[in-house]
Structure 1
């Protein structure tokens, strides 16, 4: 993870997820970021979240790794070499409070161990990804499941938007949005991340 430079994230990129939280469906990609200190490997580790009285939600996402500077006209396969699954953890009550005040979300999105990520594997192209599904199991039960075909903004649109807005270079990663089914993280929950039916990562959440 030491080679990761910037973490960009796409909000509300699945219609049903936007609706389940009572949010408007965006007409352009909704961008935010997380600090690299938020990264945590989904390698079976346990992570402590000492946020008393604060609801933490899990959000499963496909993560893209950029392998070179992105220039106008570059296609997804030109600039993405690896992919992973990730879980974007959110302090939901704090996020709601910040949104009402018109303040940035960073406090609710960028806390330690809030950007869970599996090991990366080779990116085989958009066509291959469209044939796959991804899922999150909580204590043995599927709580989130999706396919990139349901995205509002596809990989190309996301990469173009991030490159135009921030610039994209080698080592940057993009969390591409979460399908419906987000929900609370409780003490001693065990999460498993799956690509198709293959387990690619897992972690425990500890709360106090």
Structure 2
């Protein structure tokens, strides 16, 4: 059994995200499947906990897409050779919200994605639960419900780059320490949110968190 862990969003240090880490998701957006991890980041101001509340998003920046992901929490500073099960202490289900029209314009210009990925409330997180180990996590799938209908489901066994590869790559290129979190990538099925959509985050058969989307007029 897992238990809910008390983790303040204020204690999160860095937010790393892995892009295109599921082959079918890369293909659904007509992107090339990467040969090495694609890493981007979000500011800590983008975090918000999914505790059933209304969450405000911009209504004047075009389409906003949901991308459900397994999120891992780093429990100690990285040292060379450390394993996933040693360094990860908690996990959550999250949504990497994306301003898709903004991202498409940035990609055309070859610019970074920050404006499309780092806006307030764009890193939605369920409450953290105990991390049971990389192999054990493969026995359970995570999913997103929108208005009661399942729109995405994923399992980390389908990732292009597994948790160990992601952790080692981020640590060696950017640094990785206690309090950092990693959005590990989204499976296929991403789509647009609309005003008043109800979102629920699932781990197996358990709802870990949810929210209602409000688009600013």
Q: Normalising by the residue count of structure 2, what TM-score does the alignment of the two structures yield?
A: 0.95
Matched residues in 2 for 1:59 and 1:181: separation? 8
Matched residues in 1 for 2:22 and 2:161: separation? 8
Deviation at 1:127, TM superposition (A): 1.4
> Is structure 2 residue 42 aligned with structure 1 residue 42?
no
**After TM superposition, where is structure 1 displaced by more than 3 Å over at least 4 residues in a row?**
none
Q: Which position in structure 1 is the counterpart of 2:189?
A: 181
Mark the runs of 5 or more structure 2 residues left unpaired by the alignment.
1-8
Q: Which position in structure 2 is the counterpart of 1:56?
A: 64
Matched residues in 2 for 1:44 and 1:84: separation? 15
Matched residues in 2 for 1:2 and 1:93: separation? 30
Q: Secondary structure at the match of 1:177?
A: coil
Q: Which position in structure 1 is the counterpart of 2:39?
A: 31
Q: Please point out which of 104, 107, 112 is paired with 1:99.
A: 107
Mark the runs of 5 or more structure 1 residues left unpaired by the alignment.
none
Q: Secondary structure at the match of 1:63?
A: strand
> Is structure 2 residue 76 aligned with structure 1 residue 68?
yes
Q: Which position in structure 2 is the counterpart of 1:205?
A: 213
Q: Secondary structure at the match of 1:2?
A: helix
Q: Secondary structure at the match of 1:54?
A: coil
Deviation at 1:51, TM superposition (A): 3.0
Q: Which position in structure 2 is the counterpart of 1:168?
A: 176
Deviation at 1:53, TM superposition (A): 5.0
CA contact (8 A) 2:61 2:102 kept: no
Q: Secondary structure at the match of 1:97?
A: helix
Superimposed CA distance per residue, residues 46-103 of structure 1 (whole angstroms, 9 cap, x where no aligned partner): 1111232510000000000001110111100110000000000000010010011011
Aligned length: 208
